Amino acid sequence: MTAPSSTKYAIIGAGIHGLSTALHLAEMLKASGKGSGEDILVVDKGTVGSGASGIACGVIRNNYFQPAMRELMAHSVDIWESDPKAYSYHPVGYMQISPECMREDVASIYEQQKAISYESVFVEGAADSMKYMKGLFEDWQAQGITSVLHEKRGGYANNMASMLGLAAKAKSQGVSILSGVEVQGFEFGSNSNAVTALLTNQGRIGCDTVVVGVGPWVNRIWNLLELPKSISVKSNGTMHHNVPMWKFWCLEEGTLGIDPELHKTNDGRFPPVLHVDTDAALYSDRDGKLITDKLWGIYYKPDFSFGGIQGGASPYKVEQEADLVAVDPYGPESPDFVVGEDFVDMWCSALAH
């Protein structure tokens, strides 16, 4: 397909945000009689799933600290559950297993889940937490745990398979998805700030509305839109000025080629995704050295699609200013953001813990 000269709705990015927006916009246009998916064009400088959506662990959970996330995530889970096969979704549930310093926060998440009838179990106290965990995995041994939140819904989706499933659904509504089209600039109307066209490596694409779904490339698009590099933010009544608009964080993940069957529950079922945070000291499983005695955490899931386990740890803040961060080449191709021996030792030792 060659790029058209115009479209009503132009969506930049064929990741989960761009494609989900395309699908739902197409369904709404059709339902309201205002158009159809044929009015929508998704362009990506790579292809479907070239960004974060194609490499993410794919954990689907309700446990996010901001209360506003509770209903949004419940809504998102409804969509995953609507077609598990197409989305390659595994509804195994999710567990947040925490130390004392997190108990109160997790308890409030549980209360909010109860209020919206999102099914979960909350266990408190070291002895009861251990009993609950051993009831699932007889060899459970993590230390420093005083609460367990077990979300019965959620689980994980296989990243690329779910992206291709979502793209197929959007296409079946008439949406066009074009790979290898990079947005390099915008054309603005003469009398307003509104964008009237995308300027791409495949030429000009006129449009009425633009949706930006470029994930970690957002700083570049923000600059092309000539939006401010710093903003003012009010926090607890105090105004902070000149706060950089974008700050990068790097999330490190890994996969281990060990038999996922080892991680099934006592009764032979696929286990929930496990997220464990603790302040118990973490020692290297290789040489016994102390890795940390501060709060640490990991999440993981046995993944039967590739026969191993996948997971990660806490993200770290990238200190460089946003304009200097090389987002490309992205993901495992990046020379700057790739895990080293420290991560391997930490993650494997944390799993052993």
**What span, in angstroms and rounded, lies between the C-alpha atoms of 333 and 336?**
9
Tokens of 241: 């000025």
Name which of 43 and 77 has its Cβ closer to ligand FAD: 43
Of residues 307, 308, 306, 279, the one with CA closest to residue 293: 279
Spell out the residues 6+ positions from residue 333 whose beta carbon is closer than 8 angstroms to its own: none
Under rule CB under 6 A, residue 17 binds ligand FAD: yes
Q: Which position among 77, 214, 322, 350 is part of the footprint of ligand FAD (CB under 6 A)?
A: 214
Q: Which position among 39, 42, 44, 99 is part of the footprint of ligand FAD (CB under 6 A)?
A: 44
**What span, in angstroms and rounded, lies between the C-alpha atoms of 199 and 209?**
14
Of residues 148, 155, 156, the one with CA closest to residue 93: 155
Name which of 123 and 207 has its Cβ closer to ligand FAD: 207
Give residues 167-206 in contact with ligand FAD (rule: CB under 6 A).
Answer: 182-183
Question: Which of the ranges 14-22, 167-175, 185-193, 288-296 carries the binding residues for ligand FAD, by CB under 6 A?
Answer: 14-22
**What span, in angstroms and rounded, lies between the C-alpha atoms of 10 and 39?**
9
Alpha helices in 153-250 (DSSP H): 159-172, 218-224
CB of 259 to ligand FAD, least distance (A): 22
Question: Which of the ranges 81-89, 147-155, 212-220, 239-247 carries the binding residues for ligand FAD, by CB under 6 A?
Answer: 212-220
Q: Which position among 3, 11, 15, 195 is part of the footprint of ligand FAD (CB under 6 A)?
A: 15
Q: Which position among 144, 155, 216, 254 is part of the footprint of ligand FAD (CB under 6 A)?
A: 216
**What span, in angstroms and rounded, lies between the C-alpha atoms of 249 and 240?**
21
Name which of 6 and 284 has its Cβ closer to ligand FAD: 6
Under rule CB under 6 A, residue 98 binds ligand FAD: no
DSSP assigned state of 78: H
Q: Degrees (nearest 5) of the Cα angle 181, 172, 34?
A: 90
Contact 60, 156 (CB under 8 A): yes
Contact 167, 159 (CB under 8 A): no
Under rule CB under 6 A, residue 207 binds ligand FAD: no
Under rule CB under 6 A, residue 311 binds ligand FAD: no
Question: Which of the ranges 10-18, 32-40, 82-90, 101-109 carries the binding residues for ligand FAD, by CB under 6 A?
Answer: 10-18
Under rule CB under 6 A, residue 217 binds ligand FAD: yes
Residue type, 139: D
CB of 287 to ligand FAD, least distance (A): 27
The separation between CA 353 and the C-alpha centre of its own chain, rounded to angstroms, equals 25
Binding site for ligand FAD (CB under 6 A): 12-18, 43-46, 50-53, 55-59, 182-183, 213-217, 251, 253
